[in-house]
């Protein structure tokens, strides 16, 4: 780091040029502005935020225990989440019946949880009857609670799966593009082999073979096989970038391969990664719904839209079993597709300069 090092002086002059030039706009910045301007993307984002809000506050919207209450001299805040032992075996209806002086109860929006009511189960209640806004399923479980809690299942599964998928896709794609040679050949073959296997079929088979299938099985199955498309895109980006002059310049300046990868190559993978994340979440939610719809694997007590839709097959007259969970599923998938589509066209410079504002 002496003053005499020619490399340092070059760096300094480049830094100077950087500050003197007009504030430069990155690709990501353009894309984000583009994304924010697109009406469809905003609609998708709004829907998605709504779904996420529902998922987060599921216990406040529908639960068998109150949001807050004073019971037998003690005050409980959010017992629907903390589930204190003192309130075991109670639900809103019973608490109202057994209420003594000084007790008060703040009920959630719907006073039923997603699981079976401990009292006698009365199957297939019509919507808006007996306090069930969406009716109940054949086991007497409140459908509103199941839809709301299903959002939690679907989104948490979708987003965690997509995180793994994106990390794997970017890593493998960058590895293949950057290392080249034998590594590239192996990754490319793996990508081809994995993308030839139908996802839904694989998920079904894996849940049949694994001794105790859970939703985590499904998550890993999809994440470990669906990174291929993203890896292909990232690899393409990397190869494209590696041939450009600025990489040559960076190398000439003595940047280590790690720095080239981090500073110059990987930022180009952000675009495809965002798009892949949006569609990845959608595909995991879709697969989970399909698997539950077909009733494969062990019966899961977790609320799931697909499971409610699967019940609709057995009770044809119960239209609400297909309408409400179906609408929730459709709304979530549409919002994810809108965001993904908008991100794709915002990140594709050709589409952008040809058609300002058209995304859909």
Name the residues that contact other proteins, by CB under 8 A: 189-190, 192-202, 204-211, 225, 282, 286, 289-290, 293-294, 296, 309, 312-313, 316, 322, 326, 329-330, 333-334, 337-338, 341, 354-355, 358, 360
Name the phi and psi angles at 63, rounded to 5: -160, 155
CB 358 → other proteins: shortest distance, Å? 7
Closest to other proteins by CB, 55 or 312: 312
| Shortest distance, position 196 Cβ to other proteins, whole Å | 4
**To 10 degrees, what angle do helices 39-56 and 27-37 make?**
80
Rounded to a whole number of angstroms, the minimum distance from the CB of residue 54 to other proteins is 18
In the complex, the smallest distance separating the C-beta of residue 17 from other proteins, rounded to whole angstroms, is 36
Nearer to other proteins (CB atom), residue 17 or residue 209: 209
Task: Give Rg (Cα) of the chain.
Answer: 26
In the complex, least distance from residue 93 CB atom to other proteins, rounded to whole angstroms? 33
CB of 270 to other proteins, least distance (A): 22
As a three-state string, the secondary structure of 2-32 is: CCCCHHHHHHHHHHHHHHHCCCCCCHHHHHH
Please identify, using beta-carbon distances, which residue of 80 and 217 lies nearer to other proteins: 217
Least gap, CB of 321 to other proteins (angstroms):
10
CA angle 298, 319, 130 (to 5 degrees): 90
Q: Which residues of 127-151 are buried (b: 16+ CB within 10 A; e: fewer)?
A: beeeebbbbbbeebbbbbbbbbbbb
Beta carbons of 114 and 149 less than 8 angstroms apart = yes
Backbone angles phi, psi at 5, to 5 degrees: -70, 115
Nearer to other proteins by C-beta: 21 or 316? 316
List the structure tokens of 264: 């110059």
The kind and range of the H/E element at 348 are: none
Q: Which is nearer to other proteins, 80 or 221 (CB)?
A: 221
- Nearest residue (CB) to other proteins, 165 versus 286: 286
Q: How far apart are the first and last CA of the chain?
A: 53
Nearer residue to other proteins within complex by CB, 65 or 336: 336
Residue 42 near residue 360, CB atoms below 8 Å: no
- The burial class, CB within 10 Å (0-12 / 13-18 / 19+), for 40 is middle
- Strand 104-106 relative to strand 68-71, pairing: antiparallel
* CA–CA distances in Å: residue 236 to residues 186, 258, 283, 294: 16, 19, 23, 37
In angstroms, what is the minimal distance from the CB of 318 to other proteins? 11
Kindly tell me which of 145 and 333 has the beta carbon lying closer to other proteins: 333
- Cβ closer to other proteins: 270 or 334? 334
CB of 210 to other proteins, least distance (A): 5
């Amino acid at each position: 780091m002496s003053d005499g090092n020619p490399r340092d002086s070059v760096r300094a002059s480049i830094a100077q040029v950087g500050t003197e030039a007009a504030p430069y706009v990155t690709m990501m910045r353009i894309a984000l502005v583009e994304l924010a301007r697109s009406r469809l993307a905003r609609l998708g984002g709004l829907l998605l935020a709504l779904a996420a809000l529902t998922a987060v506050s599921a216990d406040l919207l529908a639960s068998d225990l109150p949001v807050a209450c004073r019971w037998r001299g003690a005050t409980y805040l959010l017992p629907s989440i903390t589930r204190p032992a003192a309130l075991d075996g109670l639900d809103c209806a019973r608490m109202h019946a057994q209420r003594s002086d000084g007790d008060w109860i703040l009920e959630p929006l719907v006073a039923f949880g997603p699981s079976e009511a401990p009292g006698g189960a009365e199957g297939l209640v019509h919507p808006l009857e007996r306090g069930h806004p969406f009716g109940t399923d054949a086991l007497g479980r409140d459908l509103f609670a199941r839809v709301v809690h299903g959002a939690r299942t679907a989104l948490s599964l979708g987003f965690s799966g997509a995180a793994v998928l994106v990390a794997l896709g970017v890593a493998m794609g960058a590895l293949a593009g950057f290392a080249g040679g034998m590594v590239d050949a192996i990754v490319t073959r793996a990508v081809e082999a994995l993308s030839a296997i139908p996802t839904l079929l694989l998920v079904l088979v894996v849940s049949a073979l694994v001794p105790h299938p859970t939703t985590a099985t499904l998550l890993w199955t999809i994440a470990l096989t669906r990174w291929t498309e993203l890896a292909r895109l990232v690899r393409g980006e990397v190869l494209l970038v590696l041939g450009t002059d600025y990489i040559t310049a960076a190398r000439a300046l003595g940047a280590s391969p790690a720095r080239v990868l981090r500073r110059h190559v990987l930022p180009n993978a952000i675009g495809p990664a965002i798009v892949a994340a949006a569609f990845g979440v959608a595909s995991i939610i879709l697969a989970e719904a399909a698997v539950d719809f077909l009733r494969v694997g062990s019966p899961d007590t977790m609320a799931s839209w697909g499971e409610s839709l699967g019940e609709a097959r057995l009770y044809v007259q119960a239209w609400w079993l297909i309408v409400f969970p179906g609408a929730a599923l459709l709304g979530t998938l549409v919002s994810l597709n809108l965001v993904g589509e908008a991100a794709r066209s915002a990140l594709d410079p050709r589409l952008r300069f040809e058609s300002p504002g058209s995304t859909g």
